[in-house]
Structure 1
Amino acid sequence: MEPVFPFPVNLPRHHGKLAHELHRQLRAAILDGRLPAHAPLPATRKVAEALGVARNTVVTVYDLLIAEGYLIPRKGAKPQVAEFARRRASKPPGASVGIDESRFAPVWRTPFMAPSPARVLPERNFRLGIPDHRHFPHDIWRRLMAQTLRKSSREPFAYAPSQGIPALRDAIAQHVAFARAVACAADDVIVTSGAQQAFDLIARLLVTPGQTKVAVEEPGYPPVRAAFAAAGAQLVPLPVDDEGLCVERLPDDVRIISVTPSHQSPTGVAMSLRRRSALLEFARRHRAVIVEDDYDGEFRFGGRPLDALQTLDRDALVFYVGTFSKSMFPSLRKGFVVAPAWARDGLITVKHCVDSHCDSITQSVLAAFIRDGHLARHVRHMRPIYAERREALLDGLQRALGEWLRPIPSEAGLHLAARIRDPALAPTIMPIVLRFAAGAEATADYAMTRGVEPAVTFGYGVIDAEEITVVLKKLRTALKGSVA
């Protein structure tokens, strides 16, 4: 049989992909000019016979090309190819594509934080910030999701409030009051797409480009710095010691201070009560505000936790940022800000402009998960599991690796850091540690300057206690053979 198109069409044997592949090849032929403008396409019956497919498959492909604008339908006649600019001939393999960065806004010509390349890690590893999915109540989450979908026959077709649905804001207010003694009402809570969007919204609201100075921890959480840098802030890195941020080093003209007081990222230290009081006093005296990132404050392993800065605040100076990425799972992409009353309407306006609303289905499921007590039970269930892993890591660092590493005091969260005892040996020790403890990170990767003490941070969210012990023993053997 004569070919129906002026080029070969090769279809797969798998029937489920016939329409997709025929559509792809015809679309490519139109874009490349092999099917010229105004050319009529063969009749669907003729194409079906020539290619050995059902006529309905060809009809479906033609209809899709018409809907996409590649074909023009004609009543009583065959559709014809639409007229539009052809795509340029593709570059040969390996040819570079030029990027005109002069078109970018200045802040993006040299990005403060480029996307991290994907890392291939073993299933059980020391990666930071990842909770264990094996113990999550998946069956309960699926049931709540199904119930929400059955109830929401009309809601998905309406826009949710920019600040989040009332049920979730009320649930979050009750949760942080119970878990972290943060005093707030539902109206104080603004739901975000993860904590990172919370930082972005605060930066957009408070930063005057080129003028506002923002103090950040050194080392500190890179996405926080990136959000403020993208907004045009002048970043002021401040050192961190075993009491947290060195408040006495704050310049008088700083207007925003970003901190992780409950579990410093990445060293893991908790800010002392003395420093917390001094920080709040500095903010009051200098008309500054504080952004408190409490990213994994639910997991405590010591005595009574120190109060959150927001709890101690009496002058409406603290923006309290939380997330469910550590207590539940990162792909949930739900965070929140407890905002001072004076900033609430402004923050909601920024949220509306940047991202009009978070998806209402997941918000409803999360609200039910919190309201029915499942989150509190899950945190209680995970706390002893993470505590066992933390103890195994701490014991291994002291017994197996104490000759080279000194653990940094930490009683919360899902990671633990250790300083290299002899900084002069860091160039030799660090590569070995990072090679054997897959997923662990050098704290220098969290720093803006070169002046931080050499240390390494180990996450224990997804690695069992027994595996921690085995890895650290192997690491000891490797260090014994390499470090004089």
Structure 2
Amino acid sequence: MELHIVIEGNKDLAGQVYRQLRDAIQSGRLAPGEQVPPSRLLATQLGLSRKTVSEAYGRLTLDKLLVGRAGSGTFVNAPAEPKAKPKRFESSDLAAGKLIAHWLDQSFPLLMRHVGPETRSQYDFMGGIPVRRQFPQEEWRQCVLYGLRQVNEARGFYAETEGVPALREAIARHVSFSRGVQCTAADVLVTNGAQQALDLITRVLVEPGSVVAVEDPGYPPARMLFSAQGARVESVPVDDEGMRVDLIPDGTRLIYATPAHQFPLGMPMSPARRTALLARARELRAIVIEDDYDSEFRYEGRPMDSLQSMDQDGLVAFVGTFSKSMNPELRVGYVIAPPSILRAMSVVKGLSDWHTPTLTQWAMARFIDEGYLQKHIRRCHGIYVARREKLHAALNGALKPWMRAVPTTAGFHLAAQMTAEVDMAQLLRLARRVDVALYTLDEFYYRVKPEPALFFGYGAIESLDIETALGRVRTILEELSG
């Protein structure tokens, strides 16, 4: 039998033979049990050395695609009969079955899940995604190379659990300058994103039955984390001034809030409400988590200092991240922790993952110290300003009959409350048909009844696409309204 094999050039000859025979076997052109030519004969037909063909046959034999039979030749290997899989325990059969089922019930909101290219819409208002195509590749590459040199000099030892000193110092300077946080490098604990910071605080402070107060609506992964530790999560409604501090129940030991830019509605917590929150925390002897997730981007009014800067009792844990200003995949976050819990959090982090990868830490420290971070934030700020103005123009114009924007001064998302009765599920379905991804706020509510509203993130969508997308939304709303 003469095989159809084409040899091009004079490089990787054995590889060319191997790949073409492999493809022929896997496609079925060479059937199981069929004999292939002896290596000497095939080498003569192709004008190659016998050693080259023997090497290709050897690789195919290792892949179990060919099998040699003594005295008979080499044959395409018949696939082995699939072995019957042994019966394995299902999760429900295990002694910990109920606990596993508890974790399986946890589900990130659609708005915060990973979205692959195959399911992503052309016009996507997903939140939490920073501006694309603006990542400072060249500056970051320089910083990573610097980090590689620092890691090489470390000679393979484990690093400090609290974080590389250079990054802790850089973070302390950054948050002191940008958010008025009162801290030194000694107060900083570097984490794998803000989510790990929340996890560490929870492990230190929460046990089964502990009362944790959360904003409602609020950030679901935080609430789910508290619940997973066995906490009794208490829903605290929000109003135009932020969290209703007067409704925080007695016995609360941990309070979770987003004072700078309430998630997901967007309003800032008023100065009076901040003072009241600190007073209530003092009364309860409770720790307050101040999640400052995206407040670097501010558009209106005088910048308001952090809640931590007002804290005189050491009760506020300031949690921040570079996921919103840089890239979520870097997984670099931090917490400015009160002295009362910092050491315990360091112990827990050491038991969990020892320390955050040092290469990324060194690169991030250099990125901040060289001024690249502030430069990048300014560049993104200009882009967000333009996108935000386009959204407001549509909400105050073409979309005004159906919705109004919730006032917000920071971040890169805004909420729009519906002012007309609309079938929200139908709106989302029809929008997807015209390649527009819209999201409601329903998944962010816990016990408070959801109000019809849309969530507009403007980091993932390009500026030039906003008008087109919202024009399609208006057309759908007109059809739904008759």
Normalising to structure 1: TM-score of the pair? 0.79
Aligned counterparts of 1:60 and 1:298: Cα–Cα separation in 2:
59
Using the alignment, how far apart are the partners of 2:185 and 2:433 within structure 1?
46
- Give SS of 1:182's match: coil
Could you say which residue in structure 1 is the equivalent of 2:102?
110
Specify the alignment match of 1:100 in structure 2. Answer: 92
Where 1:135 maps in the other structure, the secondary structure is coil
Return the alpha-carbon distance in structure 2 between the equivalents of residues 14 and 394 of structure 1. Answer: 63
Residue 315 (structure 2) aligned to one of 307, 314, 317: 317
SS in 1 for 2:399: coil
- Give SS of 1:319's match: strand
Is the 8 Å Cα contact of residues 428 and 483 (structure 1) preserved in structure 2? no
Aligned partners of 1:127 and 1:438 also within 8 Å: no
Deviates more, 1:358-367 or 1:428-437: 428-437
Partner residue, 1:444: 442
Tell me, what secondary structure is at the counterpart of 2:91? Answer: coil
With over 3 angstroms needed to count, the CA separation of the structure-2 counterparts of 1:154 and 1:117, relative to structure 1, is closer
Give the direction of change, closer, same or farther, for the CA distance of 1:311–1:51 in structure 2 (3 Å limit): same
* Corresponding residue SS for 2:396: helix
Give the Cα–Cα distance (whole angstroms) in 1 for the partners of residues 16 and 351 of structure 2: 42
- Determine whether 1:298 maps to 2:296: yes
Whole-angstrom CA distance in 1 between matches of 2:97 and 2:17? 42
CA-based RMSD: 3.2
Contact kept, 8 Å, 2:17 with 2:53, in 1: the verdict is: no
Which residue pairs with 2:362 in the alignment? 364
From 452, 455, 460, the counterpart of 1:454: 452
Distance in 2 between the 1:369 and 1:224 partners? 29
1:341-360 equivalent positions in 2, closer than 5 A:
341-360=339-358
Looking at structure 2, the residues matched to 355 and 279 of structure 1 have their Cα atoms a distance apart, in angstroms, of: 33
Instruction: Compute the displacement of 1:61 (Å).
Output: 6.7
> Is 1:180 aligned to residue 175 of structure 2?
no
> Is 1:113–1:222's contact at 8 Å kept on the other side of the alignment?
no
Cα deviation for residue 137 of structure 1 reads 1.3
Q: Cα distance, 1:181 vs. partner?
A: 0.7
CA distance in 2 between partners of 1:231 and 1:50 (Å): 63
**Partner in structure 2 of residue 89 of structure 1:** 84
Q: Structure 1 residues 342 and 266 mapped into 2: Cα distance closer, same or farther (>3 Å)?
A: same
Alignment check: 8 A CA contact 2:235 2:448 kept: no
1:318 & 1:266 partners in 2: Cα distance? 21
Q: C-alpha offsets along residues 260-307 of structure 1, whole Å, 9 cap, x if unaligned?
A: 111111111111111111111000011111011001010000111222
Aligned to 1:224: 222
Decide whether the 8 Å contact of 2:200 with 2:349 is kept in 1.
yes
Alpha carbons of structure 1 residues 244 and 124: separation in structure 2 relative to 1, 3 Å = same
Measured in 1, the distance between the counterparts of 2:435 and 2:281 equals 40
Kept in 1: contact 2:323–2:329 (CA 8 A): yes
Judged with a 3 Å threshold, the aligned counterparts in structure 2 of structure 1 residues 384 and 55 are, in CA distance, closer, same or farther, namely closer
| CA positional deviation for 1:217 | 1.2
- CA spacing shift, 1:107–1:125, aligned 2, 3 Å: same
The CA deviation at 1:330 is: 0.5
- 1:237 CA drift (Å): 1.2
Matched with 2:284 is 286
Aligned-partner Cα distance in 2 for 1:290–1:118: 32
Name the CA distance, whole Å, in 1 between partners of 2:276 and 2:57: 74
Q: How many residues are aligned here?
A: 420
Conserved 8 A contact 2:17-2:56: no
2:15 matches 1:15: yes
Amino acid across the alignment from 2:15: H
- Cα distance in structure 1, aligned partners of 2:424 and 2:56: 69
CA distance in 1 between partners of 2:258 and 2:435 (Å):
25
Task: Give the match for residue 34 of structure 1.
Answer: none
Give the aligned partner of residue 54 of structure 1. 55
Report the residue type matching 2:84 in the other structure. Answer: A
| Corresponding position of 2:256 | 258
One-letter code of the match for 2:101?
Answer: R
Q: Within the alignment, does 1:191 sit opposite 2:190 as a pair? A: yes
Task: Flag the 1:482–1:349 CA change in 2: closer, same or farther, 3 A.
Answer: same
Which letter does structure 1 place at the counterpart of 2:284?
H
Compared CA separation, residues 391 and 343, structure 1 to 2 (3 A): same
Comparing 435-444 with 379-388, greater Cα deviation is found at: 435-444
Structure 2: which 5+ residue stretches go unaligned?
A: 2-12, 23-49, 64-81
Question: What is the correspondence of 1:31-70 to structure 2 with a 5 Å cutoff?
Answer: 52-54=53-55
Query: Aligned in 2, Cα 1:199/1:463: closer, same or farther, shift over 3 Å?
Result: same
The percentage of counterpart residues that share the same residue type is 40
Q: Is the 8 A contact 1:219 1:239 kept in 2?
A: yes
Distance 1:156 1:454, change over 3 A: farther
- Cα distance in 2 between the residues matched to 1:60 and 1:340: 63
Deviation at 1:59, TM superposition (A): 13
Tell me how far apart the structure 2 counterparts of residues 154 and 434 of structure 1 sit (CA, whole Å).
52
Contact 1:429–1:483 under 8 Å retained in 2:
no
Q: Rate the CA distance shift 1:16–1:52 in 2: closer, same or farther, 3 A.
A: closer
